[in-house]
Structures are given as C-alpha cells and as structure tokens.
Chains A and B, each alone.
Chain A
C-alpha cells in the first residue's frame, strides 16, 4: 500500500517570506513523488516531480522540493512567496512498477500581502 500525509490543512505566510508545505509518504520500494497546485474552480497543475538523482528538484513558478529518503519526506518550498501563490497544494506518490497515483488531502496555502 502507499499513502501520503500532508500534516497541515492550511499554511499562512506573508508575501516575500519563504514558504514550506510539508509532505511525508509511505511506499514500498523507490518512490515517485509529485506536487500539483489547484486554483479555485480549476484542475490540478503540475509543479514538479522526483524520480531519481538530485534530492533538490526545481519546478515551475520558482517552486522547489527536497526529497529526504531517511525521513520519507518531500516538502515543497519557495524562497519568496507571492500573493498569487495562494492555492491548494497536493502531494502525490506512486511506487515503482505499475500503480495508481495516490494523493494527499491537500494543503491550503494563504499568502497575505
């Protein structure tokens, strides 16, 4: 079985400050990890993914994520938050071979001006 936990329902950060959205996972074997963002009344937009290699993955809109195998985490980060980053963020995991993509419950990010 595979699972994803996003421990925070909501993260509040002031514009210009760094942001972190947390994600931990459980999967057998090597994980494939993804971050998506969802704006109101929209579908999910792909931000970045980890397959193998460098533990720091860079993605769209200045976001990056750090893979930590020992802590089974894949936290999403951005050095300087924008008000327009306010949205719902989903972490997802898939194990090797053929399996479905399992999503976390989502974390609402609110960036205040």
Chain B
C-alpha cells in the first residue's frame, strides 16, 4: 500500500500571501490530521478531519483552515502568511478517528514551508 503523500514537498512564500497544502491518506483511511513542526514549539496539532467534517482543532488562529474531500484527501490553507508560519507541516492518516484510544496515525513526509 502506498503511504501518505503530501504535495508540494517544499514551498517558499512571502509574508501576506496564502498557501494551500495537499495530503492524500493511505488508501482506506478516513481520518486526516495536520501538525505543525518547528524547532521551538515541536509538534503541534492543527486539526483532524474525518468523513469530511472537522472533528478537532488545535490552538491556532483562524488563518489556518482545512477541508477534506469525499475521497478522504485533505487540504490545508494558511492565509496572510507570517514569518512565524515557517515550519514543516505534517499530515497523518488513520483508519478511524485519530483521537480515539490506540488508533495509530501514519505520517507523510511533510511540506516544508518557508515564509520570507
């Protein structure tokens, strides 16, 4: 089975622009979660989508949004980019709801975003 794929892998944007990142989960997985990874803050949860519905949201401003399509693919959008948004954005998929018990999340390679 193919793993989680994310596109693009690298992205350079300038402040004020917006960006859309894409994630394709493992076939059959219905949950997609997004995380931001930075050297200072580590791994921080952004949101989880399951069956096209946002199930949980982390402590991020409204500039960060996402959606999930009927084929479970997900996109994340960041509007009005700030320098502090530079990070590795990781997508993870799971068979069931990611937030339940022993459900295992499988991560993609990430999209590295640099905001200048």
Q: Could you tell me which A residues sit within 8 Å of B by CB distance?
A: 32, 34, 36, 41-46, 49, 51, 90, 94, 96-101, 103-106
Q: What is the CB-to-nearest-CB distance from A46 to chain B, in angstroms, rounded to a whole number?
A: 6
| Closest-CB distance, B103 to chain A (whole angstroms) | 8
Range, interface on chain B? 20 to 34
B76 CB within 8 Å of chain A = no
- What is the CA–CA distance of A49 and B104 in the complex, to the nearest angstrom? 8
Q: How many A-B residue pairs have CB under 8 A?
A: 52
Would you call A45 and B107 a contact (CB within 8 A)? yes
What residues on A are CB-neighbors of B108 within 8 Å?
A: 43
| CB of B7 closer than 8 Å to a CB of A | no
From 79 to 116 in chain B, residues with beta carbon under 8 angstroms from any chain A beta carbon are 90, 92, 97-102, 104-110, 112
Q: Is the CB of A101 within 8 A of B98?
A: yes
Q: How far is the CA of A94 from the CA of B99 in the complex (A)?
A: 8
A-B CB contact pairs (8 Å), 22 listed: A32-B101, A32-B102, A34-B104, A36-B107, A41-B109, A43-B4, A44-B90, A44-B107, A45-B107, A46-B105, A46-B107, A49-B104, A51-B101, A51-B102, A94-B99, A96-B101, A97-B101, A100-B58, A101-B98, A103-B43, A105-B42, A106-B42
